[in-house]
Amino acid sequence: MSRLLPRAIREGGHEFTFLTRDLHHYLRSAPEGTAHPLLAARNVLTAETNDVGPLLPEVERLHGALGFDGVVTSCDYYLPTVARIAARLGLPGPTPEAVENACRKDTTRRVLGEAGVPGPRFAVCADRAEAEQAARELGFPLVVKPVDLCAGMYVRRVDDERELSEACRAIADFPLNARGQLRAPVLLLEEFLDGPEVSVETVSFDGTTQVVGVTDKSLGGAPAFIETGHMFPAALAPADLEAAQDTAVRAIKALGLDSVVAHTEIKLTAAGPRVVEVNPRPAGNRITELIRHVTGLDLAAACVDVALGRTPDLRRRATGLRSAAVGFLVPDTAGTLESIEGSTQVRGAQGVLEVQLAEPGRTVKAAGSNNEYLGHVMAGDAEGLGARARVETLLSGLRPLVSAR
């Protein structure tokens, strides 16, 4: 999103001001052949974005000088801040309460439970002692989560008290998120949901939620939950497709989300669909690009439109593809990346849409979340739902060579 949103703003004929507390966080090189997204900014300004109290009047002063029409972010951790800024300035956007409830996994569970939207049995625990007691009541296996992180960070399946204790300790030892914000010292325990996982991509505007489609997901890295790939559209039976879509729309309504592009993750269990989480922003991990390749819809552009209070263009266009998939190169050893063999053949393969691979010399960590990928491959299928198989074949031809540190 940090690249797709600036592109969508520019292609929509708009300009943007970029506000950050730490410009150095973003001063990484752009992918080969692309310009750095911040080069498109009309202004780049610095403010303490982690302290909302003084930030709101500061942005109000900036608004008086620059005249903003909308507020967006590419970072999960600033979604509640953006909602509060928009409300303060009288600009379009979801209510701060709805966004805060969606961004806190424990609050999402409470709100959806009160509305009768199906999810796992759960417990919210203040510390490890409470978690151990709750685990005895819920029963193993369980999933342990921090309530306010993203990208699958520190989400773990636990099968006994020892694993539970280790998971709780790991979360407690990570007090700040990637943007330097103090985390909530709360643990979320959920019953383990067995079944395939999908995500429902939606756009809500003017009180109506429109389903764009359903994406499937492959997971690996147990006991972590690392996303290893996606395909759009998901290969689902019609009944499962309808059930997933209906459940996502109910969840968005229960949370009170409007003027938002959302990515709702759902497990398809034997007992029916169960909500994993509701993300009040466009999908990450290149899912938005899978959708664009298949349908012609640009969800980054829709995100900009709803932030401006404009009806998003959700008309589908012929693209020549019936499915598109992405697969991620997930490291299982730590060290230094020497090379990725097979990349030349993969880049030249039929149906390839994107190949992005890490450069030699990169420090590699054994993956524990979605933050440690060594790259991805994206491919399409013009005939049917064969994109996933094509991507998996291509990934099997890539061989990362990692030397010990």
pLDDT digits (tens, 9 = 90+) for 109-139: 999 999 999 999 999 999 999 999 999 999 9
Helix (H), strand (E) at residue 66: helix 52-66
- In the prediction, which pLDDT does 170 show? 96
Is 337 a residue whose pLDDT tops 90? yes
Q: Indicate which CATH number applies to the domain containing 135.
A: 3.30.1490.20
Is 28 a residue whose pLDDT tops 90? no
Predicted confidence band at 325 (pLDDT cuts at 50, 70, 90)?
Answer: very high
Is 91 a residue whose pLDDT tops 90? yes
Nearest to 251 by CA among 239, 262, 240: 262
Is 153 a residue whose pLDDT tops 80? yes
Task: Report, as an integer, the average pLDDT of 381-404.
Answer: 96
Residue 254 lies in a domain: no
- In the prediction, which pLDDT does 405 show? 65
Residue 336 lies in a domain: yes
Is 30 a residue whose pLDDT tops 80? no
* Domain stop point among 174, 191, 208: 191
β-bridge partners, 219: 227
Would you call 255 exposed, middle or buried from its count of C-beta atoms within 10 A (0-12, 13-18, 19+)?
buried
Residue 236 lies in a domain: no
Task: Report, as an integer, the average pLDDT of 88-113.
Answer: 98
CB 272 within 8 A of CB 283: no
The reply to whether 148 and 76 lie within a common domain is: no
- In the prediction, which pLDDT does 205 show? 98
Could you tell me the two tokens for 177? Answer: 């998120």
Residue 44 lies in a domain: yes
Task: Report, as an integer, the average pLDDT of 324-338.
Answer: 96
Site of tokens 């819920």: 138
The reply to whether 95 and 124 lie within a common domain is: no
- In the prediction, which pLDDT does 306 show? 98
Confidence (pTM) = 0.96
The reply to whether 134 and 175 lie within a common domain is: yes
- Gap between the Cα atoms of 52 and 229, Å rounded: 36
Is 96 a residue whose pLDDT tops 80? yes
SS3 for 119?
Answer: coil
Could you tell me the two tokens for 379? Answer: 């491919």
Amino acid at 145: K
β-bridge partners, 375: 357
The reply to whether 378 and 340 lie within a common domain is: yes
Q: Indicate which CATH number applies to the domain containing 46.
A: 3.40.50.20
Task: Report, as an integer, the average pLDDT of 20-30.
Answer: 86
Q: Indicate which CATH number applies to the domain containing 371.
A: 3.30.470.20
Is 399 a residue whose pLDDT tops 70? yes
Site of tokens 């797709």: 4
The reply to whether 79 and 127 lie within a common domain is: no
Residue 106 lies in a domain: no
Cα separation values, 394 from 95, 215, 325, 388, 399, Å:
43, 20, 11, 10, 11
Residue 260 lies in a domain: no
- In the prediction, which pLDDT does 26 show? 86
* Domain stop point among 45, 66, 99: 99
Residue 73 lies in a domain: yes
**Average pLDDT, rounded, for the chain:** 96
CB 404 within 8 A of CB 335: yes
Cis bond leading into 223, ω under 30°?
yes
Residue 201 lies in a domain: no
| Structural domain span for residue 373 | 323-404
- Gap between the Cα atoms of 109 and 197, Å rounded: 18
* Domain stop point among 99, 133, 155: 99
What is the domain count for the chain? 3
